[in-house]
A and B are shown apart, each in its own frame.
Chain A
Amino acid sequence: MHSGGASLAVDALSVRYGAAAAVRGVSLSVSPGEVVGLLGPNGAGKSSTLKGIMGIAPVASGEVRLGTVEISGATVAARVKAGLGLVREGRGVFGRLSVAENLRVCARDQSPMSIDAVLAMLPALEPLRSRRAMLLSGGEQQMLSLAKALVSGPSVLLIDELSLGLAPILTARLMATVRSMATELGLGVLLVEQHVNLALGILDRAYVLRRGELVAEPPIAELRADPASLRQYYLG
């Protein structure tokens, strides 16, 4: 069941690994077409938040809604079917399969995005269709990771550290692609990014996380004017 152009609403989400609380009562939202940043220092719980929303980290409490559909207790597969997608940290690609096969696994019948359409948005992958994913370069793998998430036709996309291990030029290009996807497809994007300056250009809004808690929602204009001002939120 796909909620096209739906918003993501997260209410008081808590993620716990054993006795350690990684995320404490975080609430946020993402509207269709918005690119929202989830910022914060190392260990703030940004990745865990995304994973908690996706259902691959242990959620202690809280609600997640996609449009009108409550997906808090749903399986990962159900969340994907409802329209949520995740681009994992560290390029989760299926190494032994080719690019085309990777996309084939992730493609869904009900998805509005066909494999060809996705490859049109990421044309660098087109000539690599039959190459095995583990033989791609870092940047190409990151693109594939993005493509895989897109091809399942999400309405909200969670992206975890797109820039990891990539040269700034590549990152900039990818960020631009993300921006245009969000605008053209009406996708909501929640972007976790350590290298804030690379992301600032495409963000509509930003949340700041520190030690598992949401501490601020600074206006983007302020951040763009003075990126160093972010530090105050990091150090508190």
Chain B
Amino acid sequence: MKTGAATGEPLKIGFSNLEGGAISLPEVRYGAEAAVKLINEKRNGVGGRPIELVPCAVDASPESSVDCANKFVEAGVQAVELGVDPSADAMLPILSDAGIPVFGHAAFGPQQRQDPNVVLFGVSAPAAGLGPLQYFAEQGAKSVVYFLADTPSSRDFTDSVLDPSAKSLGLKFKVIYYSATAADWSVLAATAMSENPDVIGSPSASEVDCLSMIPAVQTAGHKGPIFAAACSLFSTILGPAAVGVLTYSDLWSPTDPNTPADRQAEVAMYKDAMKAIDQSQFAEKDSFALGWFADTMNFARILTEDGGGDLSGSAILKTLKSTKNFEGFLGPVISCDGSAWKGETACGNQLLLFKTTESGVRNAVTDKFIVVSPQG
């Protein structure tokens, strides 16, 4: 890999992210920016061409996403990286018509899980739901209850993936759906408890929902493991109640002492890069910044390793989708050719489960990624 500063014609990457409104997550962009700075200054960009991030703030409405997509097309970006954009699905028709490929970490909407113009570096949604079930079954659990947001895709997901898989794993399994806006978690927790489960949790709850779910479930008398999706806020806010709660991630954690020695160099690279853009506070704890740092690094590396020649939209898409057995940054081996999970645009089918300790730090419970395989 060539090192040094890149000086060629910039490679424009659009970046849509939830910022400036009632919920604002600038750290997602900082992660990407830190990676871009590193790539441009130390890795000779992408085949000599520096990356130029074109950010656009969304507010979770489909309209703001459409507006960003239009802006991206007019700015002539070659690809779009999805930050946290709950309505990113609205962008897809516009970007695919314009031949602009889309990449990101995890799906925030049903369409992006199937659109052929999209590549997601993280673990697929079905795997994120199923993986923990596999682990719980292996650990001897007999009954699991999941909370899922009440959406058509959740229901479909349950019917087509979770229910049959739980059956083959020999688990008694139930899904309780909750309203995204009007959930009463004490009622949901009591409903879950009426099933007498060994494990209660959610593979997709938001930070706000995790914060309500964990105490509610504990108050309702649950003594077993609680699975809190990929949430991280609760560990700082809930104090002692957070101890023992399980979460998942598709990346090693920079704050976890259990992170293998051979990945520590990546941890150091991430921390240094965040420091270089004056945002080290996000690198000192579990934050979204890591996911997007990793995605951007992966993106640049995949294109560079391919030779970095033709960087038109269709070429980028082709290159991304031909990625096979690629070791992601602080992540598992991923393949973006559709083999990770049939019918999904995600590249990953491996994840890690973390247990929250007294100090708030999370430790991985296995020393390797858990490979999730479709059941039944």
* A–B touching in complex (CB under 8 Å): no
- B→A interface (CB under 8 Å): none
- A→B interface (CB under 8 Å): none
